[in-house]
């Protein structure tokens, strides 16, 4: 009977320890609406501001991130244009103007 009591006490302590670890894990998690932390390289600025040339009357249609580039797709009266932005410096890395095909 003493062995059974010891076993029940040990299992109860293990359950309490498990519940405490789960509670600790849940409390350490960031809130679900918060963005994931962003790794910042030493010496790299965390913020930049950039002015980008967009087509007159242009409208931002789509944004995508690929590697270290941010791809912005604009449409407007002067046709479609794709701008590539360097995410480290905020500088314009490239531009593609989409023109109709001529035969």
The pLDDT score that the predictor gives to residue 47 is 67
Q: Pick the residue with more confidence: 90 or 31?
A: 90
Mind listing the pLDDT tens digit for each residue in 30-63?
A: 666 666 655 555 665 556 676 777 767 888 889 9
Q: What is the mean pLDDT of the segment spanning 79-102?
A: 84
The pLDDT score that the predictor gives to residue 97 is 85
CA distances from residue 60 to 8, 30, 90, 97 in whole angstroms, order as listed: 65, 31, 17, 14
| Residue 91 near residue 68 (C-beta atoms within 8 A) | no
pTM for this entry:
0.50
Q: Pick the residue with more confidence: 31 or 8?
A: 8
């Amino acid at each position: 009977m003493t062995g059974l009591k010891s076993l029940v006490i040990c299992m109860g302590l293990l359950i309490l320890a498990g519940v405490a670890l789960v509670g600790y894990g849940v409390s350490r998690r960031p809130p679900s609406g918060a963005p994931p932390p962003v790794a910042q390289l030493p010496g790299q600025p965390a913020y930049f501001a950039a002015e980008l040339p967009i087509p007159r009357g242009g409208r931002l249609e789509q944004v995508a991130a690929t590697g270290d580039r941010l791809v912005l797709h604009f449409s407007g009266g002067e046709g479609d244009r794709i701008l590539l932005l360097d995410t480290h410096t905020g500088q314009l890395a490239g531009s593609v103007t989409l023109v109709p095909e001529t035969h």
